Structure 1
Amino acid sequence: MNANDLQVFNTHESEVRSYVRGFPTVFQKAKGYILTDMDNKEYIDFFSGAGALNYGHNDDNMKKKLIEYIEADGVTHSLDMATKAKGEFLKKFHEIILQPRNMNYKVMFPGPTGTNTVESALKIARKATGRTNIVSFTKGFHGMTIGALAVTGNKAKRKGAGIPLSHTITMPFDDYTGDPSSSLQYIEKVLDDSGSGAELPAAFILETVQGEGGLNVASNEWLQGIEKICRDRDILLIIDDIQAGVGRTGTFFSFEPAGIKPDIICLSKSIGGYGTPLALTLIDPKYDVFSPGEHNGTFRGNNLAFVTATEALNYWKDDTLSKNVQEKSKRIEEFLENIVKKYPKIKGTRRGRGFMQGIASDVEGFSNLVTEKCFELGLIMETAGTDDEVFKLFPPINIDDQGLEKGLAIIEKAVEAAAKEKNLV
């Protein structure tokens, strides 16, 4: 095909394609935080596969292990049979991630995607409790299959289901009402009032930082309050850590600073390390209630992902990466706060934490314009929020200082250009 010729995609690919519209070029290579297109133009990647590439593109160590495994005719597909690659991953995940955090979970491989782990978590909660309803939260996003869509707040995504989405109760997320304590009181009242019309749910499901919902952050106090509500009423607590986990907020699990203990944890995206599809459902052993094969799937045994995921765990043998993310997060926060002050007419507010931060602008279309300007200047970044009101920074969590500063400089130029175009300077 010709360099950067999008004709084949426009002609043959479904209308549902989306990212190719926002980033209209043909990419051919990727390394670290750099993507290169067919004209050899380089782009700094502040998108990271929507959180699936926390360690950047083509990590040398993961690539080496993967090539060695393939050349040795290692098992690629195995359903849920026992393989050397899966055994090594399970052992290392327990030793490096779970054991040092005093966490006791059974590991389920529900299928390769985030929505697979959410679906399995909802089914487990319903089977374990014998109840039907699930409490989800305003602006939450949990996936595109029917069960996951039912606990998703986004109106446009829900509409795509084509059928009524039921057996869920939507509650206010943290300060959705303007007062987190009011949110907790409201939730308790609805659950305990026999006239509310709400039956006791099987589980609560939530993200500690709502990625697609607009980088809304749950406070530690609110998370602790939610956990207490669940414990007092024998409701399971499911944390969807698919996007916010695996180090993106500064700790391996995003909920660690709150000190809570979920009953079920959903992981996907960067748990595979290399962009290789993998999902885990971590289950408190007392809720490990599925009978053999009751939740099934052809691609549960992605051994190539086990290989790269196992190698990726080496990043967590000590706290070097975690501290680095936390330190660089301060730089991102400082940068974004400065943008908000420097351009008051964009009506911006910094949102998020860790390496998932951005600016929400009340000016219609401004954030989309910023991402367009970024692309023109050589940086890839997407928007988030119900109305795409947030431009969202998602660099690889192991990006070096030089790459981070280059990316931030491009974003500042893009904000300046967008502000001028919108007459906001």
Structure 2
Amino acid sequence: MLNRDLRVHDHPALAAACAEARRVVPLFVLDPSVPAGRRSGFLAESLADLRRSLRERGGDLVVRRGDPVAETVRLAREIAGGGAGGGSAAGVVEAVHVSADVSALARRRERRLAEECERHRMGFRAFPGVTVVPPGAVTPSGGGDHYRVFTPYWRAWQAHSRREVLPAPARVTLPEGLDPGVPPPGHPHRPHELFRGGETVARRRMRQWLKYCVADYAAGHDDLAGNRTSKFSPYLRFGCLSPLELASLTEDGDDFVRQLCWRDFFYQVTMAFPAINRADYRPRGLTWNDDAEALQAWKEGRTGLPIVDAGMRQLLEEGWMHNRARLLTSWFLVKRLRVDWRTGADHFFDLLLDGDVANNYGNWQWVAGTGNDTRFNRTVNPVRQARRFDPDGEYIRRYVPELRNVPPKTLHEPWRLPSAVRGYPPPLVSPA
């Protein structure tokens, strides 16, 4: 059963199934209880691309709608009974393979599926593939089930052995007579042109980035206007790219590999603390403001602080946000407006193409001081950050068009803007 592993390259669960069985059914279940929202168009394009790849190998993508566990069991019965209408698909379903995940929802689903497989006398196996190093494979030598601080995890992660990157299966053979079902339509949330879904697009982007951009990543990934980040995150979120393959191809790009390690870090934290999206990892006794107007202004990119507004409008427009802007916008909400981190994290999760539980909520807690940052009172000055990482104001003007004629010096002095720009709001609070 497929979930966040929508690819054919370096797919351990799929590779094992193809190696061990004569017939393989790649199944994706659209679960109405977990709506894709703004990610629905990206998901639809990714599923369509995966179907094409499987058909090129003689197979197909089987799509069902409903509860993933119930639909998996129902499909197994259909195959054992001879296919839809009693066709020629009769056979015994020997095992169900999945890629192991870490969120509370994913782990409940895996436990239920394992129990149902046992009840129906089918095997169940969970494989790695969502991270570079499997969560739980690296643990502190002094005890404990996970690393709470990144730097020692980074050292252990680098030293840990890794499995081999697997090729795509040469052939995938589906049982005859099985109705593959219809993938979801791409609308109403078609992804931004920068982020078309699917493994084919992802691998083309990976090849180009490795050829032209990885050497410059350390120098340029914080440049807000330069647009020099990899933008792989939506493809990693849906498993259109293998994080292990990506890490193996960028060993010389230490700064980029470190970002993949940060991703793994939050996955192992989430596996140990599955309530990461709703409870403080490190409770600090913080109190929060209930300011609906300020929250709405932040969501709309109308805080009066240009660098924050640019980031929030990029999110609304593209379903993605530059990593440096994520830091500045989240810090402004929780540290200056004093709004509960859960509110901001939920907003990001709803809109981001790459929104997943581990990284989204883990990073928000890091900023809020309730997570894995050992300096929970860390301060960030958005104005100074804007001067450093958007010195000419190009990023701000790109996403806040009413400021397009404002010189950089004024952009970086937001308290001067109300008298300089008609229609742009004054700052909700002082920027620092």
TM (normalized to structure 2)?
A: 0.32
The structure with more strand, counted as a fraction of residues = 1
Considering only CA atoms, is the larger Rg found in Structure 1 or Structure 2?
2
Q: Please, what TM-score do these two structures have when normalized by structure 1?
A: 0.33
